[in-house]
Amino acid sequence: MIELKDVSYYYDMGKAPALEDVTITIPKGEFASIVGPNGGGKSTLIKLFLGLLEPTQGSVKLFGDAPRKTRYRVGYAPQQARVDFKFPINVMDVVLAGRFGASGGKTPRSLGRRLFGRFTKEDRERAIAALDKMGVAHLRGKSFGDLSGGQRQRVLIARALASDPELLVLDEPTNNVDPSSAEKFYSLLSDLHQNASILMASHDLGVVSQLVDSVVCVNRHVRIHPTSEFNGEMVRELYNSDVRLVRHDHRCSETGHTRCADEVCAHGEWRD
């Protein structure tokens, strides 16, 4: 599904690359978590395999072809940045924009939609269904800029879901979401995984053992490990011992692991 060969990416040629010598393949059907410290290159990796950035060196394929040609098959929820949301756009329009990539994205009809911004009844129904899945259908008439961070996050994920993508790519989707909503969201993801591949950048390492098949570790270099291999040693190495970056698995507090508050839960909790 995704193939990177000898890929390096420099934002600035005078500085160290954001990613260096990355050679990975991710097969279709995979549910993988992309982990690593802030600034490690997770978002850069995602943008490379979606063709939003061109590699400085090396080659990138998505579904066996140039990402620009195939990314309509992907639903993507970008990391919430400090974007200025003051421009007036309502929630429904944000989600409908995700329908540009709906399957059959190369038919003349969808090209028409793309050019003229017209949406069908089906587009609207699918958009509302996606909002409903994220529990925010009631917000569809609101201005996107008036929403809370958590609500925006859900709307952006609904937008990614609206095209019924073969691959769902989520960049830190639970950053503004409270733990109980995150839990519900993860169970939604495991349902969605029955029909789609999922790649999710996340600091929530608790989710690793529960859901994902493999872990993509990104810290300028990239290594993929099956979940069964992923352990505390790797986390320490990956996060350069700065484990405060990692939100601990909430199950630790349930089981009374007092050390977990300031230390990554590296004692088997998510090794099983």
Rounded least distance, CB 194 to ligand ADP, Å: 28
Using the CB atoms, write b or e for 53-76: b if 16+ within 10 Å.
Answer: bebbebebbbbeeebeebbbbbbb
* Measured distance CA(137)–CA(228) in Å, rounded: 38
Comparing CB distances to ligand ADP, the nearer of 41 and 163 is 41
Q: 52 to each of 5, 60, 68, 100, how far by Cα in Å?
A: 17, 11, 8, 16
The CA angle 186-203-235, to the nearest 5 degrees, is 120
CA angle 158, 226, 210 (to 5 degrees): 50
Q: Which is nearer to ligand ADP, 163 or 219 (CB)?
A: 219
Minimum distance from residue 77 beta carbon to Mg ion (Å): 12
Q: How far apart are CA 171 and CA 161, in angstroms?
A: 14
Shortest Cβ 118–Mg ion spacing (Å): 34
Contact window for Mg ion (CB under 5 A) among 43-51, 86-94, 99-107, 222-230: 43-51
Choices 22-30, 33-41, 54-62, 106-114; region in contact with ligand ADP by CB under 6 A? 33-41
CB of 182 to ligand ADP, least distance (A): 19
Question: CA–CA separation, 32 vs 208, rounded Å?
Answer: 8
- Taking the least distance from each CB to ligand ADP, the nearer of 36 and 232 is 36
Q: Does 18 bind ligand ADP (CB under 6 A)?
A: yes
- Contacted entry of Mg ion, ligand ADP, none for residue 40, CB cut-off 5 to 8 Å set by kind: ligand ADP
Question: Does 42 engage in binding with ligand ADP (CB under 6 A)?
Answer: yes
Contact footprint for Mg ion (CB under 5 A): 42-43, 79
